[in-house]
Amino acid sequence: MNCSIVSDRGRAWIVDPGQEGERIVRLLAQKGLEPAAVLLTHAHFDHVCGIPALEKEFPDLPVYVGSGDMAMFGHPLNQFPPEYPSIPRPADLRDVDLLDLPWLKTIHTPGHTPGGVCYHIPGDGLLLSGDTLFAGSVGRTDFPGGSMATLVDSLKKLVVLPGETLVIPGHGPHTTIAAEIAGNPFL
């Protein structure tokens, strides 16, 4: 899966640390970045397993997630050990609606999960779409709490973004909104 690190004036927001938390810690040090928070597009097992290593290094690190996904932490259905063990609820878990960054907009896109969101950075023409929108596809809706009808409604919020917006999905290659409108059967 794709983890993204977004930085602004020396501070870093880590989007979906799915694995390799130690590697993310090293990368932050190499780049001279101070972590501000973890931003989750959703709380599925493969997007959160890097959190414990980050919390070990940065114990006060806030973790933002859609409120509809908060119950997934520690839930037996949200793990596939050994690669994806049960991840306990982060010490400072916050509702993503409390996130207040002037350059980043949270778009609620439930469907893949009940609390799924995308992060839009209009100034950089960037959308971190999690598992809502992939290049040529969308996230599966057969996990607990998933709904294809809800996901289709959420996609309507993404197709209105500028066509040249670069989409970084939760898995697979990058794409753009225009390319997905042209070639994604779900749109």
Output 58 or 84, the one with its CB closest to Zn ion.
84
* Strand partners for 138: 133
- Minimum CB separation of residue 27 from Zn ion in Å reads 23
Output 77 or 182, the one with its CB closest to Zn ion.
77
Q: Which of residues 59-118 bind Zn ion (CB under 5 A)?
A: none
**Count, residues near Zn ion per rule CB under 5 A:** 2
Contacts of residue 97, Cβ cutoff 8 Å, sequence gap at least 6: 67, 106
Contacts of residue 103, Cβ cutoff 8 Å, sequence gap at least 6: 8, 121, 122, 123
- Minimum CB separation of residue 43 from Zn ion in Å reads 9
- Minimum CB separation of residue 112 from Zn ion in Å reads 6
Q: Which helix (H) or strand (E) holds 63?
A: strand 63-65
Interface region with Zn ion, contact rule CB under 5 A, candidates 61-69, 70-78, 131-139, 147-155: 131-139
Q: Which of residues 8-67 bind Zn ion (CB under 5 A)?
A: 44
Output 33 or 169, the one with its CB closest to Zn ion.
169
Query: In this structure, are residues 38 and 14 in contact, taking their beta carbons and an 8 Å threshold?
Result: yes
Pairwise CA distance, residues 85 & 54, whole Å: 16
- Minimum CB separation of residue 42 from Zn ion in Å reads 5
**CA-based nearest residue to 10, from 40, 29, 33, 44:** 33
Using CB under 5 A as the criterion, which residues of the chain lie in contact with Zn ion when the complex forms?
Answer: 44, 131
